[in-house]
Amino acid sequence: MLGNFTYENPTKLYFGKDALSYLQEELALYGPNVQFIYGGGSIKRNGIYEKIMTVLQAAHKRVIEDGGVMPNPTLDKLYEGCRAAKEQKADLLLAVGGGSVCDYAKAVAVSAYCETDPWDTYYAHMRRIKNKIIPVGCVLTMAGTGSEMNGGSVITNTAEKRKIARVFDARVFPRFAVLNPEFTMTVPKYQMAAGCYDIMSHLMEQYFSGTDDTASDYIAEGMMRSLVHSSRQAIRDPQDYEARSNIMWLASWALNSFIGKGKSQDWMVHMLGQSLGAYTNATHGMTLAAVSLPYYRHIVKAGEAKFARFAQTVWQVRPDGKTAADIAAEGLQCLEAWMRSLGLVLHARELGMTEEMIPQIAEGVFITHGGYETLTREAVEDILQQSL
The answer to whether residue 186 forms part of the interface with ligand NZQ (CB under 6 A) is: yes
Measured at the CA of 20, the angle between CA 14 and CA 22, to 5 degrees, comes to 65
The answer to whether residue 191 forms part of the interface with ligand NZQ (CB under 6 A) is: yes
Interacting stretch for Zn ion, rule CB under 5 A, among 170-178, 198-206, 232-240, 246-254?
198-206
Residues 302, 43: contact at Cβ < 8 Å?
Answer: no
Shortest Å, Cβ 161 to ligand NZQ: 15
Beta bridge partners of 163: 156
Give backbone dihedrals phi and psi of 277, rounded to 5 degrees, phi first.
Answer: -65, -35
What's the start-to-end Cα distance of the chain, in Å?
38
Kind plus residue range of the DSSP H or E element containing 70: none
What binding mask, one character per residue, do residues 236-275 give for ligand NZQ by CB under 6 A, x or -? Answer: -------------------x--------------x-----
Q: Which of 66, 148, 198, 205 binds Zn ion (CB under 5 A)?
A: 198
The answer to whether residue 286 forms part of the interface with ligand NZQ (CB under 6 A) is: no
Q: Which of 195, 210, 260, 371 binds ligand NZQ (CB under 6 A)?
A: 195
Shortest Å, Cβ 284 to Zn ion: 6
One-character DSSP codes across 139-189: EE-S-SS-GGGS-EEEEEETTTTEEEEEE--TTTS-SEEEE-GGGGTTS-H
Q: Which option in ligand NZQ, Zn ion, none does residue 118 bind, with CB closer than 5 to 8 A by kind?
A: none
Choose between 26 and 198: whose C-beta lies nearer to Zn ion. Answer: 198
The answer to whether residue 103 forms part of the interface with Zn ion (CB under 5 A) is: no
Shortest Å, Cβ 188 to ligand NZQ: 6
- The alpha carbon torsion through 210, 309, 191, 272 (nearest 10 deg) reads 40
Give backbone dihedrals phi and psi of 128, rounded to 5 degrees, phi first.
Answer: -70, 150
Q: Which option in ligand NZQ, Zn ion, none does residue 66 bind, with CB closer than 5 to 8 A by kind?
A: none
Choose between 198 and 217: whose C-beta lies nearer to Zn ion. Answer: 198
Burial of 167 (0-12, 13-18, 19+ CB in 10 A): middle
Choose between 102 and 346: whose C-beta lies nearer to ligand NZQ. Answer: 102
Burial of 132 (0-12, 13-18, 19+ CB in 10 A): exposed
Encoded amino acid at 134, one letter = I
Give backbone dihedrals phi and psi of 140, rounded to 5 degrees, phi first.
Answer: -85, 135
Subset of residues 117 to 176 that bind ligand NZQ, contact rule: CB under 6 A: 141-142, 144-147, 150, 152-154, 165
Shortest Å, Cβ 90 to ligand NZQ: 20
The answer to whether residue 67 forms part of the interface with ligand NZQ (CB under 6 A) is: no
Interacting stretch for ligand NZQ, rule CB under 6 A, among 36-44, 78-86, 119-127, 209-217?
36-44
R_g of the chain, CA atoms, integer Å: 21
What binding mask, one character per residue, do residues 141-180 give for Zn ion by CB under 5 A, x or -? Answer: ----------------------------------------
The answer to whether residue 364 forms part of the interface with ligand NZQ (CB under 6 A) is: no
- Cα separation, 155 vs 107, whole angstroms: 8
- Cα separation, 235 vs 247, whole angstroms: 12
The answer to whether residue 205 forms part of the interface with Zn ion (CB under 5 A) is: no
Helix (H, G, I), strand (E, B) or coil at 116: coil
* Interacting residues with ligand NZQ (CB under 6 A): 39-43, 46, 71-72, 97-101, 103, 141-142, 144-147, 150, 152-154, 165, 183-184, 186-187, 191, 195, 198, 255, 270, 284-285
Chain residues in the site for Zn ion (CB under 5 A): 198
